[in-house]
DNA sequence: ACGAGACCTACAAA
DNA sequence: ATTTGTAGGTCTC
């Protein structure tokens, strides 16, 4: 067992409106964070295991480094006297950078609420949802895996990928942490078959082919050239990204277009990478959830935009950019999170659940019918263990369904 | 342009 | 105990 060096817990003053770790790390933008019983989130990042914990007033963080990360260097006398080794120096910077703590989220929520009553109604139960600044390559891999998939399995796939191809970083709470493998690690001919064997399905080919393409362009240099220059990687100075247009800034549009050349990357995945991996705040990924939201709350789904074609996809993005502005993708993420099954409990609190008979007619659902369908007890039921069943919903559920649950 | 199918798999629900 | 539906889409006709 390699010797590791663990830094003491340190803290940054952050309130829950600026960052809600529990929501942000579970809402499907990152797939590698693991939570332990004591509400500590951990992930292998930048050659260390970064651990995060939050209370009402502070974000607490610490890093655990493998031996090899510091052994070749000698701590300075000052570092020795303060007990602060050199490698911790950039951990706060890493936390600030990764969690994207720069923008004032409280102000942004205020701005979006003023512009949009629907946002104003939905957002209060989903405060502190912040877009992370993930590594572009990690975002690319994660979102290629996301197609026709769910968050649980995407996370399992990322875990397997790191376990089999990534570097071992260390152990925390008897869990082993592996970092993301570099693109060149996935370029060997046998990788596709192996990934299939590991359960990646048809995405195995996409990952292999994408890894080859990225690798040919000097690892991730090409990918990082597509970044928003106002949101550079650590250590690079920010420069202006140009003026905002209805379809997004020039650089965003170019990044999106270029990403489409990769296998397994369509418009939605490209937008996820733009938003979460490349720092383009105006990118609005339109997936099934967002399409439902656009139909239910923003009058899409009829006439010209009755189905989610390429033209409709762009129109939805344009609509949200005109409504929410330059950080439309951030606002989109709040509503997206509100729509996730994993967070359904927050919606059920003050909601009257109505019985709805599911009629499968050809007619388009009215707005009220669509709403009611989403709040049907059958759908809510999946979200809760029996003990935390919302009283209102449980009253409406057929007793037979509960019996059946117990048997298995 | 637009619409239909096929595509891997794990996991819950019936 | 099996079968079916589904989950933050993309590619190919």
What is the SS3 assignment for A271-319? HHHHHHHCCCCCCCCCCHHHHHHHHHHCCCCCHHHCCCCHHHHHHHHHH
- How far is the C-alpha of A130 from the C-alpha of A334, rounded, in Å? 8
The pLDDT value given to residue A345: 86
Tokens for A197, please give them.
């064997």
The pLDDT value given to residue A68: 66
Q: Which residues contact A172 (CB under 8 A, 6 or more apart)?
A: A36, A42, A49, A51, A64
DSSP single-letter state for residue A398: -
CA A181 to chain centre: 19
Strand partners, A62: A51
Average of pLDDT values for A78-90?
Answer: 56
pLDDT band at A359 (very low <50, low <70, confident <90, very high): very low
The pLDDT value given to residue A356: 31
Q: Say yes or no to pLDDT of A387 above 80.
A: no
- How far is the C-alpha of A281 from the C-alpha of A284, rounded, in Å? 8
Tokens for A292, please give them.
């439902």
Q: Among A286, A17, A267, A271, which Cα is nearest to A128's?
A: A17
Average of pLDDT values for A247-251?
Answer: 98
- How far is the C-alpha of A335 from the C-alpha of A312, rounded, in Å? 19
In this prediction the pTM is 0.85
Question: Any idea which residue has 């590698």 for tokens?
Answer: A32
The pLDDT value given to residue A335: 98
Strand C at less than 7 A from CB of A213: no
Average of pLDDT values for A112-134?
Answer: 98
Q: A133-189, pLDDT tens digit by residue?
A: 999 999 999 999 999 999 999 999 999 999 999 999 999 999 999 999 999 999 999
* DSSP letter string, A77-98: HHHHHHT--GGGTTHHHHHHHH
- How far is the C-alpha of A111 from the C-alpha of A294, rounded, in Å? 20
Does the annotation count A268 as an active-site position? yes
pLDDT band at A130 (very low <50, low <70, confident <90, very high): very high
Q: Say yes or no to pLDDT of A405 above 50.
A: no
Q: A300-304, A317-321, A366-370: which has the minimum mean pLDDT?
A: A366-370
- Closest residue (Cα, C1') to B3: A309
Q: Among A277, A269, A176, A180, which Cα is nearest to A226's?
A: A277
Percent of chain A exceeding pLDDT 90 equals: 76
The pLDDT value given to residue A257: 98
Strand B at less than 7 A from CB of A148: yes
Q: Would you say A45 and A358 are in contact if contact means Cβ atoms under 8 Å apart?
A: no
pLDDT band at A407 (very low <50, low <70, confident <90, very high): very low
Strand partners, A64: A6, A49
Average pLDDT across chain A, whole number: 84
Q: Which residues contact A156 (CB under 8 A, 6 or more apart)?
A: A199
pLDDT band at A382 (very low <50, low <70, confident <90, very high): very low
Query: In Å, what is the separation between the CA of A329 and the C1' of B9?
Result: 30
Average of pLDDT values for A287-296?
Answer: 96
Catalytic residue among A268, A354, A357, A371: A268
Q: Is A238 left (phi over 0), alpha (psi -120 to 50) or beta?
A: beta
Q: A193-231, pLDDT tens digit by residue?
A: 999 999 999 999 999 999 999 999 888 899 999 999 999
Query: In Å, what is the separation between the CA of A88 and the C1' of C10?
Result: 42
Q: Say yes or no to pLDDT of A404 above 90.
A: no
Which range of A81-85, A157-161, A389-393, A397-401 scores highest in mean pLDDT? It is: A157-161
Q: Which of residues 204-223 of A touch strand B (CB under 7 A)?
A: 205
Strand B at less than 7 A from CB of A306: yes
Q: Which residues contact A280 (CB under 8 A, 6 or more apart)?
A: A228, A231, A248, A249, A251, A252, A255, A274, A329
pLDDT band at A361 (very low <50, low <70, confident <90, very high): very low
The pLDDT value given to residue A396: 28
């Amino acid at each position: 067992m390699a010797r590791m060096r663990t830094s003491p817990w340190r803290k940054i003053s952050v309130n829950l409106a600026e960052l809600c770790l529990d929501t942000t790390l579970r809402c499907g933008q990152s797939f590698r964070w693991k939570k332990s019983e004591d509400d500590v989130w951990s992930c292998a990042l930048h050659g260390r295991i970064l651990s995060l914990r939050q209370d009402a007033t502070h974000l607490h963080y610490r890093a655990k480094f493998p031996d090899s990360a510091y052994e070749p260097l000698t701590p300075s006398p000052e570092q020795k006297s303060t007990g602060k080794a050199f490698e911790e120096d950039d951990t706060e910077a890493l936390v600030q950078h990764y969690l994207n703590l720069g923008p004032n989220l409280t102000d942004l929520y205020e701005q979006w609420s003023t512009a949009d009553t629907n946002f104003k109604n939905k957002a209060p139960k989903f405060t502190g949802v912040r877009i992370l600044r993930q590594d572009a390559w990690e975002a690319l891999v994660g979102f290629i895996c996301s197609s026709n998939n769910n968050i649980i399995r995407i996370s399992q796939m990322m875990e397997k990928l790191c376990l089999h191809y990534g570097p071992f970083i260390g152990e925390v709470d008897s869990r082993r942490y592996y970092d993301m493998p570099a693109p060149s690690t996935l370029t060997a001919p046998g990788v596709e078959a192996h990934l299939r064997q590991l359960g990646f399905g048809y995405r195995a080919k996409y990952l292999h082919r994408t890894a080859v393409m990225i690798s040919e362009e000097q690892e991730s240099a090409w990918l990082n050239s597509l970044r928003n220059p106002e949101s550079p990687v650590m250590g690079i100075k920010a420069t202006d990204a140009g003026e905002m247009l209805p379809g997004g800034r020039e650089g965003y549009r170019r990044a999106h277009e270029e990403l489409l050349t990769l296998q397994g990357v369509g418009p939605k995945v490209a937008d996820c990478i733009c938003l979460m991996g490349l720092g383009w705040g105006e990118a609005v990924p339109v997936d099934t959830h967002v399409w439902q939201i656009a139909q239910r709350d923003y009058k899409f789904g009829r006439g010209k935009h009755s189905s989610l074609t390429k033209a409709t996809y762009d129109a939805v993005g344009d609509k949200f950019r005109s409504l929410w502005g330059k950080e439309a993708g951030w606002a989109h993420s709040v509503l997206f999170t509100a729509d996730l099954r994993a967070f359904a409990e927050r919606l059920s609190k003050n909601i009257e659940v109505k019985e709805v008979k599911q009629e499968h007619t050809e007619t388009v659902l009215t707005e009220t019918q669509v709403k009611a369908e989403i709040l049907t007890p059958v759908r809510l039921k999946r979200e809760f263990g029996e003990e935390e069943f919302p009283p209102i919903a449980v009253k409406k559920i057929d007793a037979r369904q509960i019996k059946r649950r117990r048997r298995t």
